[in-house]
Amino acid sequence: MIVVDQHLLWTFFASQFCFVLLYTLRRRNSSNANKIKLKKKNFPEDCAKQRLADRECPLVDGSRTDVVIVGAGVAGAALAYTLGKEGRQVRVIERDLTEPDRIVGELLQPGGYLKLVELGLEDCVEEIDAQRVLGYALFMDGKNTRLPYPLEKFQSDVAGRSFHNGRFIQRMREKAATLPNVQLEQGTVTSLLEENGTIRGVQYKTKDGQEHKACAPLTIVCDGCFSNLRRSLCNPKVDVPSCFVGLVLENCQLPFENHGHVVLADPSPILFYPISSTEVRCLVDVPGQKLPSIANGEMSNYLKTVVAPQIPPELHDAFISAIDKGNIRTMPNRSMPADPHPTPGALLMGDAFNMRHPLTGGGMTVALSDIVVLRDLLKPLHDLNDATSLSKYLESFYTLRKPVASTINTLAGALYKVLLASPDQARKEMRQACFDYLSIGGMCSTGPVALLSGLNPRPTSLVLHFFAVAIYGVGRLLLPFPSPKRMWIGARLISSASGIIFPIIKAEGVRQMFFPATIPAYHRAPPV
């Protein structure tokens, strides 16, 4: 009986041992199988990463690309040349490399020309029949005043330049293409390549429909006002306050040679400036987004009956002749404050990032100024693959550009609203005060024109002159004898002026515009 119990006992222990052993072995086998499955699952992803780096992003001329630039307009072409000259391997992808034909981007202010010189691109305004611009002429109610640029302290070649936009862009593209480390390629960028929150490049489609990828540690998007990539890199709050109607006047003489002309018409300003030795660009601003139809003749009738009677007599016949030729073009005027999402590996520039009303012709000045800021920021960074350092520097760019860009943006938005015709008496007085203030001469003229030309883009100077105009308007109302009605209009004038400029400053960012040194990103910039 005892013997039987011992056998049973050992049998029981042996069976338990075998059970535990089998269970352990099966669990180990299962674990190994899962690891194999995990490896198999990760293997395609690893292959995909390797393929992205090595196959889909091939070497360009035997070297890896440092910077991919989307767009080869004014900003993209100038940036490609600038970074290429710094020794970077640059790849530019542009939707259409043929000569553009636009009715804006034709006037480069003197401040923008100085940036062009600083970038070594001043010869791009040569051999394109560009015209020197020495200031503005302002027309209102049969009166006119000349506003010269304050150029006394500069060399003789420093002035504004006006030209055909497409010719200027082609010259910059050609100059960028002369650098062996800059490659220009025609293709339509469809999306940004993102990996773990970092932009690694772009995907684009060539003219024959083939899909390609271009990878680099830094991708700069400057694909213009119609950008389809900006939404992933900023908060695009686009406003369209008006549209330009463009005409080309031929073989006519401007009242003031080598000057831009601004007619304070009703309902909004009309611009004239030379774009070649035989052509004058006319831009008629039409408030709102609804335009008279060109197809059924409404536009021609509007230009002849509403606009033509308000322009200088010297230009009237050429204006009518240009309408009769029928080459009338339109362009919406967009405004968009810079409101970026700082994104590792990517940067926005040009009209893709920041727009202002083109009345003051400040867009190219802002773009070229931004390129100088970025060039100086990147100089100490020999290896752009250092994602952490690169990200900090790129965030600094958005802060360092603010004082200059915001001054030009604010001036454009505020001046456009001041120069609009209005039935409101306070706004009428503000408009008249602006014309009279600029007509005084001295600092009342040179100060605002220095701001307009980009020669003195200081935000404090802008605010001081803006409210000086408002106070001058109030003084005109109260002298020689104030009345309750005039005092009330004066108070409304100050209120109206505040209502114009303060919302624009708020959108640009008060702290970034006036106190950039209080922002931590300002101090991350490398010493230059």
Q: Are residues 170 and 91 in the same domain?
A: yes
Boundary of a domain, candidates 299, 320, 335: 335
What pLDDT shows up at residue 197? 87
Residue 44 included in any domain: no
Q: Are residues 367 and 344 in the same domain?
A: yes
What pLDDT shows up at residue 217? 96
What are the DSSP calls for 72-92, one per residue? Answer: -SHHHHHHHHHHHHTT--EEE
Q: In terms of DSSP H, where are the helices of 148-218?
A: 165-177
CA distance 501 to 499: 6
Q: Are residues 124 and 273 in the same domain?
A: no
Q: Are residues 413 and 310 in the same domain?
A: no
Nearest one of 208, 213, 170 to 190, comparing CA atoms = 213
Residue 35 included in any domain: no
Beginning with the edge strand found earlier in the chain, give each strand of the sheet holding 260-263 in spatial order. 143-148, 135-140, 260-263, 270-274, 279-287, 239-250, 329-335
Q: Do residues 159 and 149 lie in contact, with contact meaning Cβ atoms separated by under 8 Å? A: yes
pLDDT tens for the chain, 528 residues long, are 344 444 434 444 444 444 444 444 444 444 444 433 323 333 233 323 333 444 456 555 546 899 999 999 999 999 999 999 999 999 999 999 999 999 999 999 999 999 999 999 999 999 999 999 999 999 999 999 999 999 999 999 999 999 999 999 999 999 999 999 999 999 999 999 999 889 999 999 999 999 999 999 999 999 999 999 999 899 999 999 999 999 999 989 999 999 999 999 999 999 999 999 999 999 999 999 999 999 999 999 999 999 999 999 999 999 999 999 999 999 999 999 999 988 899 999 999 999 999 999 999 999 999 999 999 999 988 889 887 778 888 889 999 999 999 999 999 999 999 999 999 999 999 999 999 999 999 999 999 999 999 999 999 999 999 999 999 999 999 988 899 999 999 999 999 999 999 999 999 999 999 998 888 877 776 554
The helix/strand/coil state of 108 is strand
pTM of the model: 0.86
Q: What is the CATH number of the domain that holds 358?
A: 3.50.50.60
In the chain, the amino acid numbered 404 is V
CA distance 426 to 486: 10
Residue 528 included in any domain: no
Which residues lie across from 135 on neighbouring strands? 148
Q: Are residues 380 and 252 in the same domain?
A: no
Q: Are residues 202 and 72 in the same domain?
A: yes
Residue 243 included in any domain: yes
Q: Are residues 270 and 218 in the same domain?
A: no
Q: What is the CATH number of the domain that holds 312?
A: 3.30.70
CA distance 318 to 515: 49
Boundary of a domain, candidates 311, 335, 359: 335
Q: Are residues 243 and 284 in the same domain?
A: yes
What pLDDT shows up at residue 2? 40
Residue 41 included in any domain: no
Q: Do residues 336 and 327 lie in contact, with contact meaning Cβ atoms separated by under 8 Å? A: no
Q: Are residues 180 and 277 in the same domain?
A: no
Q: Do residues 217 and 195 lie in contact, with contact meaning Cβ atoms separated by under 8 Å? A: no
Residue 430 included in any domain: yes
Q: Do residues 351 and 363 lie in contact, with contact meaning Cβ atoms separated by under 8 Å? A: yes
474 lies in which domain range? 409-514
Token pair recorded at residue 446: 């040179």
| Total number of domains in the chain | 3
Q: Are residues 87 and 222 in the same domain?
A: yes
Q: Any idea which residue has 């003789």 for tokens?
A: 156
Which residues lie across from 263 on neighbouring strands? 139, 270
Q: How many residues does the chain have?
A: 528
Q: Do residues 170 and 181 lie in contact, with contact meaning Cβ atoms separated by under 8 Å? A: no
Residue 478 included in any domain: yes
In the chain, the amino acid numbered 226 is F
What is the rounded end-to-end Cα distance, in angstroms, of the chain? Answer: 99
CA angle 198, 522, 234 (to 5 degrees): 40
Q: Do residues 242 and 222 lie in contact, with contact meaning Cβ atoms separated by under 8 Å? A: no
Residue 50 included in any domain: no
Q: Do residues 228 and 238 lie in contact, with contact meaning Cβ atoms separated by under 8 Å? A: no
Boundary of a domain, candidates 385, 400, 424: 385
Q: How many CB atoms lie within 10 A of CB 23?
A: 10
Q: Are residues 216 and 314 in the same domain?
A: no
Q: Are residues 203 and 90 in the same domain?
A: yes
Nearest one of 441, 439, 463 to 451, comparing CA atoms = 463
